[in-house]
Amino acid sequence: MPDALLAPSAPRLSPDAPVGRIEIRAASKPGYDVLLTPAALAFVADLERRFGWRRRYLLEKRVERQARLDAGEKPAFNPACGYARHEEWTVEPQPADLRDRRVEITGPVERKMIINALNSGAQVFMADFEDSNAPTWANVMDGQVNLRDAIRRTITHTDAVSGKSYALNDKVAVLMVRPRGWHLEEKHVLIDGRPVSAALFDFGLYFFHNARELLARGSGPYFYLPKIEGRAEARLWNDVFLHAQECLDLPPGTIKATVLIESILAAFEMDEILYELRCHSAGLNCGRWDYIFSFIKKFRNDPDALLPDRAAVTMDKAFLNAYSRLAVKTCHRRGAPAIGGMAAYIPVKDDPVANDRAFAQVRADKEREARNGHDGTWVAHPALVPVAREVFDDLMRTPNQIHATCHDVRVTAEDLLAVPQGPRTEAGLRQNVAVGIGYIEAWLRGQGCVPLFNLMEDAATAEISRAQVWQWLRHGAQLDDGRTVDHALVERVIEEELAAWIGRVGEVALAHSRHEEAARLFSDLVFQHRFAEFLTLPAYDRLMEAGS
């Protein structure tokens, strides 16, 4: 890809613009002052002033690319990428504590969750400011406080109801942090009158306060990078890393970052993404739920791209299995780890049969990943760590499988774009509506991940639900029983599923729930003609309106 396509010839906002003001439009709490110091805020402001214009430019490029996709363009591997795709090179070696990542657990930056995840027996805990975190100011800042305390091993928690106390074990998981994506802003913080990039805010505050402490304790500042759509967006992160390290007088490559391949467009630029981050790369991850959402979103105008019920879009489907195998082949050729995706199942405490079924499905999923060559995998609940570990211990006897180069794997553009077949049912439609309302309701209350119907739902899985309803409506999809998905049917299902949620929460809890507001937002998202890029954007506006 020519460099001219990676950035504009001149910035929209000059990086050398005069220093303006930094404004925080949110209430402070004890502990925030330790983080929001003049030096830390100046560091974040410097990142925004240097790189914010490039972020906004790349978001404009996303809009332009979507217009071409809407007009019928299909993604393809770019033969003009030259060295990045066709020559032999590798990423820098992995740090010692990132060489074995066979089980990774993820979750929000809530205090109890952090302790339990670090104690879970997983090799890695990914603390999430993104899809499993509703970005109220309290959640964002409490998360930064919690991570600071966890790194210094001073984090404790006492449950207000049970009185149970929580503290870290002697041995804990390696910490990685996922900042928010390039598309999001932190509207509580203004730099020169403009909301700061949420990604730069999350990264900058965490890196400034913790990079040296992590290194002193034998680890390092490790990150997961979400929602990247291609090489140019990876290059921006790399430039941010280089500058941040220089500011703290740390050598290039101190930061390590795993990129989530959760966009169909990024799947066509895996080599290029690794190349741009090669000094800082900790491989790629198959972010399967956002990847499915991306497939719907990017091909939303194509009536031939209709997916079946969400429950039927599993990793054994050809287009997803191809994506998994391509990630492994690409990473291993470049000396990088390829981490598998999330098992959204959680224990079913009151139903042994359902619980056994869930554990069996997780086991089968992890066996598929290990046999495909993945070097590790994700789980959403501590109880599933032993299940995933047993599978990888059995099928991966070495710390990783990077030595397995997968020369015989051949994945074409057609493989990645193959639309899976499967049922389209009223039950699938109802599940999408019920999950959409249930998740948005929790999000509006400040809860970014929530167990619903025996699955752990976060923004990525909820995005599939609302996007699929929009897609079926847009193209008048036919259900298996012959009915057409139209406005009247979806409106009736929304009304009935809202009533079901009201029945589940009961009269007392209803006074504090936001199910009716969530149903209105869900309706807005699925009935509007123009597809909303992310449900978290209008939902975040509602958080701001509520003073959160």
Catalytically active residues are 178, 458
Give me the helices (H) in 248-399, please.
264-267, 270-276, 288-298, 318-333, 352-372, 385-395
User: Cα–Cα distance between 67 and 74 in angstroms, integer?
Assistant: 11
DSSP string, 42-92: HHHHHHHHHHHHHHHHHHHHHHHHHHHHHTT------GGGTHHHHS---PP
Contacts with 154 (C-beta within 8 Å, 6 or more apart), sequence order? none
- What is the DSSP secondary-structure string of 131-160? TT----HHHHHHHHHHHHHHHTT--EEE-T
Q: Which residues contact 234 (CB under 8 A, 6 or more apart)?
A: 225, 228, 259, 272, 273, 276, 277
- Give the span between the Cα atoms of 317 and 332, in whole angstroms: 23
Q: Among candidates 164, 149, 185, which has minimal Cα distance to 52?
A: 185
At 429, which amino acid appears?
L
Under a CB-based contact definition with an 8 Å cutoff, are residues 311 and 287 in contact?
no
Q: CA-based angle 499:503:508, to the nearest 5?
A: 120
Beta bridge partners of 339: 285, 376
Handedness of CA 424, 426, 431, 432 (dihedral sign): positive
What are the Cα distances from residue 327, in Å, to 100, 429, 441, 444, 536?
A: 18, 31, 35, 35, 27
Stretch (H or E) spanning 125: strand 124-128
Q: Are 274 and 331 in contact (CB under 8 A)?
A: yes
Residue 228's Cβ-count burial label (10 Å; 0-12, 13-18, 19+) is buried
* Distance from C-alpha of 300 to C-alpha of 531, rounded to nearest angstrom: 8
